[in-house]
Amino acid sequence: MQHSMPRTLFEKIWDDHVVDELGNGLCLIHIDRHFLHELSGSAALMNLDKAARKVRNRELTFATLDHVLETTPGRGMATRIPGGNDFLREMTARVVAHEIRFFDLDDPRQGIVHVIAPELGVVLPGMTFICGDSHTCTVGAVGAFAWGVGSSDSEHALATQVVIASRPKTMRVNLEGALRDGVTAKDVILALIGRYGVDGGSGYAVEFAGSVVDDMQMSGRFTLCNMAVEFGGRTGLIAPDETTFAYLKAGEFSPKGGAWDAAVSYWRMLPSDPNAVYDLELTLDCSTLDPQVTWGITPEQVGGLRDPVPVHARRTTSVGRASYARAIEYSGVTPNMPVLGLPIDGAFIGSCTNSRLDDLRAAAAILKGRKVASGVKAICTPGSTSVKRAAEAEGIDLIFVAAGFEWRESGCSLCASGSAGGESFAFGGRVIASTNRNFEDRMGTSVKAHLASPQTVAASAVLGRIADVRELEAAG
């Protein structure tokens, strides 16, 4: 279809995937790729089997194990999450029965679904992509419309390769300015959420753009889009460019030969047209940002490392005030106190937010020749088995281990297990983590989690307190 009106990246993808308009703002959308993991995937497959339906497009459907898997070296047991074995067993039996492509425990392609989908070239620019997980938006960084669905939508897509969806509004977030030393994609997205709140992107497909994004490697772009859902967005996405194409080229499922060239020609037409209009545009000057760290129990309760805990709730509603009071109480902080210097009991580098090779390289550069402070339990779980192997080939594992970190197998690890009754940090401890959610009890009962970049986590692990990586660098 010819389009005379300038369109945004999101509108181009949406228009290409509408199968039918159902009224009331709902459309039937074709799904190009569908990824399953053992929690939501096993439920979707079970219901599909109960209804005696078949998987319509096996070649568009992929599955892995990540959420409940044990990550201790060698994985002596498959899981220690109560009930976790049921999910693993169900998932394995049903994907095998349906002949779905499956990256099992021992498969070198196994990993956190949002890390492996782009790594393998399963998700590509211009595609629609779903998974039963809220951080599916991560992979929008390749220029796809990717969003998390419930298990009933997942079941629907298994049976029909379409889902019913409402069209989100479009937002462009312009991230401008040169980042200061020590400031990363994680700090940028935390600062954005701190400025506009956890519902700042509510109802929108949020496109990240601007000079900061242009200069960013894919690892940083995934971090931005990963936390689009913490910003309230339906999804995050980034226009594909040469950086995207170079990243995707080696993917096992990326097109090859002439098909690759044809795909790139199509992908080059995806970025928003020059005069495309967004429903909302925001601009964040990133040149003045410091490394960020959360102080409370939502990602919007965040500030620069050297900022004190705020004196007032950022929201004046009674709900906002109650949330602020609860955050102060739960986090064991007081208004006006500095977050920098708070002693920590744990440090975690992993999760779909920050566990890619660049993240591990950056943390290793800080840990090299240094030791984790006494009394700090420090854990690193690479985002995929492939990331783990690549890191090991560079000797990054040896740096982590020499520093006193546990070097784990790939999976969601404490990001999922802490709230699921599995492995967690010690009761009531204070932890700094490269993850995306600092909710109450997320990493263990009464555990206070502070979100930060892998660099800030590494520096804090070494100093035994929430630290600014620039302190370590200045000290040499």
Q: Write out the residues near ligand SF4 by the rule CB under 6 A.
A: 67, 112, 114, 133, 135, 351-352, 412, 415-416, 436
Q: How far is the CB of 416 from ligand SF4 (least distance, A)?
A: 4
Pick between residue 133 and residue 468 the one whose CB is nearest to ligand SF4. Answer: 133
Name the nearest CA neighbour of 187 among 220, 234, 141: 220
Q: What 3-state class would DSSP assign to 323?
A: helix
C-alpha distances out from residue 43 to 65, 119, 366, Å: 14, 26, 42
Pick between residue 45 and residue 412 the one whose CB is nearest to ligand SF4. Answer: 412
Report the sign of the C-alpha dihedral through residues 93, 83, 439, 411, in that order: negative
Q: How far is the CB of 378 from ligand SF4 (least distance, A)?
A: 18
Q: How far is the CB of 112 from ligand SF4 (least distance, A)?
A: 5
Pick between residue 133 and residue 155 the one whose CB is nearest to ligand SF4. Answer: 133
Both tokens assigned to 447: 């555990």
Pick between residue 188 and residue 443 the one whose CB is nearest to ligand SF4. Answer: 443
Output phi, psi for 141, to 5 deg: -65, -20
Pick between residue 344 and residue 416 the one whose CB is nearest to ligand SF4. Answer: 416
Pick between residue 8 and residue 413 the one whose CB is nearest to ligand SF4. Answer: 413
Residues whose CB is less than 8 angstroms from the CB of residue 191 and which lie 6 or more positions away in sequence, other chains included:
284, 286, 289, 292, 302, 304
Name the nearest CA neighbour of 91 among 55, 60, 63, 51: 63
Q: How far is the CB of 412 from ligand SF4 (least distance, A)?
A: 3
Cα–Cα distance, 141 to 125 (Å, whole number): 9
Are the beta carbons of 197 and 315 closer than 8 angstroms?
Answer: yes
Name the nearest CA neighbour of 410 among 379, 383, 380: 383
Pick between residue 373 and residue 416 the one whose CB is nearest to ligand SF4. Answer: 416
Pick between residue 27 and residue 302 the one whose CB is nearest to ligand SF4. Answer: 302
Both tokens assigned to 146: 């990717």
Q: How far is the CB of 67 from ligand SF4 (least distance, A)?
A: 6
Q: How far is the CB of 162 from ligand SF4 (least distance, A)?
A: 24
Residues whose CB is less than 8 angstroms from the CB of residue 334 and which lie 6 or more positions away in sequence, other chains included:
309, 328
Q: How far is the CB of 450 from ligand SF4 (least distance, A)?
A: 16
Strand 26-30 and strand 162-166: the pairing is antiparallel
Q: How far is the CB of 422 from ligand SF4 (least distance, A)?
A: 11
